[in-house]
């Protein structure tokens, strides 16, 4: 996406957004409610057009032939409740350009994989939310898209079926399918995605590899665990070594170190006091913490600018 903007009346939904999804990547599209994620997805899928800027798919300017190469799983299920499962999937497959025989073969393969062939003649309305999500997922992938856009794909699924869908997503990715993954569940993003972009108020406020972003936002927090109790004079050593105690228990302490040298000095101090070190680990911020901090920071800057503009 290059400098993409989309407005609805006076509302700027997408504000000059640029980012790139590498081919074969699982890419996280993140942001709070109303941030502009859905507007971006609608542009990528050609449901709506950008007011300005350009979108490319595999180096080709986005056009109306591209939806056949895209699979989109919306957060809200888009199934006809009175239709039977098999008829519904064949209908959707034909819309994606599959011949009737080809569509039926692909659908049966996926239903066998999910062990739900006996659902063929069931009406969508008779299925639970989780069962409908499986059908929606099949509808999204049965035409073998090059790009998958998954918006809250695990909604309504129990842990077993969540893992089932995760496995299928990974298999598709291993086959070269590029995936844009949108969710509010940051732990799922950390587990699945390598790269992310964070959108807020229609703007791109954070982008990059998850590991690099976590490293960039680290606070030099470390957890040290021993098997035979903390040293009695630990607090005395804070200024000598250069650390702050964040929390502690009988055998565990969390500290914030002033510099890299302090970690060696802290470990030496424990060893000199006869402490048996079980674990010493850096505590990196979770993506959820980074998400909240970045959004709050931008909201604070926006509020301050708004006050200044009101005061002239």
How large is the average pLDDT for residues 111-116? 93
Which one is predicted more confidently, 299 or 11?
Answer: 11
Cα gap 46→102, rounded to integer Å: 25
What pTM did the predictor assign? 0.82
pLDDT bin (cut points 50, 70, 90) of residue 243 is very high
- CATH 1.10.10 assigned to domain 219-283? The reply is no
pLDDT bin (cut points 50, 70, 90) of residue 249 is very high
How large is the average pLDDT for residues 164-172? 94
Distances (CA, A) of 127 to 13, 117, 135: 35, 14, 10
In this chain, the answer to whether the domains covering 2-214 and 219-283 adopt an identical fold is no
- Domain map (residue ranges) of the chain: 2-214, 219-283
Tell me whether residue 36 is exposed, middle or buried, using C-beta atoms within 10 angstroms of its C-beta: 0 to 12, 13 to 18, 19 or more.
Answer: buried
pLDDT, tens only, 70-113: 999 998 878 999 999 999 999 999 998 899 999 999 999 999 99
Pick the CATH number of 2-214 from 3.40.50.300, 3.40.50.410, 3.40.50.1820, 3.40.50.720: 3.40.50.300
């Amino acid at each position: 996406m290059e400098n993409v903007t989309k407005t609805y009346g006076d509302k700027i939904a997408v504000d000059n957004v640029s980012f790139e999804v590498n081919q074969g990547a699982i890419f996280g599209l993140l942001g709070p409610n109303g941030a502009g994620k859905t507007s971006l997805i609608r542009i990528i899928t050609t449901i709506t057009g950008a007011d300005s800027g350009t979108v490319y798919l595999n180096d080709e300017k986005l056009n109306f032939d591209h939806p056949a190469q895209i699979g989109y799983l919306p957060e809200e299920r888009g199934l006809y409740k009175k239709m039977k499962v098999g008829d519904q999937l064949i209908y959707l497959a034909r819309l994606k350009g599959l011949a009737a025989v080809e569509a039926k073969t692909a659908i049966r393969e996926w239903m066998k994989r999910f062990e739900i062939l006996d659902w063929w003649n069931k009406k969508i309305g008779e299925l639970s939310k989780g069962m409908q999500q499986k059908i929606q997922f099949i509808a999204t992938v049965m035409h073998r898209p090059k790009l998958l856009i998954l918006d809250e794909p695990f909604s309504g699924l129990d842990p077993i079926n969540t893992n089932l869908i995760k496995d299928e997503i990974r298999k598709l990715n291993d086959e070269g399918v590029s995936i844009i993954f949108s969710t509010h569940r940051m732990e799922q993003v950390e587990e699945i995605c390598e790269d992310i972009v964070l959108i807020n108020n229609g703007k791109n406020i954070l982008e990059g590899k998850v590991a690099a972003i976590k490293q960039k936002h680290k606070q030099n927090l470390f957890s040290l665990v021993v098997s035979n109790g903390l040293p009695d004079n630990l607090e005395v050593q804070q200024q000598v070594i250069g650390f702050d105690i964040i929390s502690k228990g009988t055998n565990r302490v969390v500290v914030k170190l002033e510099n890299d040298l302090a970690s060696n000095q802290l470990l030496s101090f424990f060893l000199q006091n006869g402490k048996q070190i079980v674990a010493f680990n850096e505590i990196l911020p979770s993506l959820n913490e980074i998400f909240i901090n970045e959004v709050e920071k931008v909201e604070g800057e926006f509020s301050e600018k708004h006050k200044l503009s009101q005061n002239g």
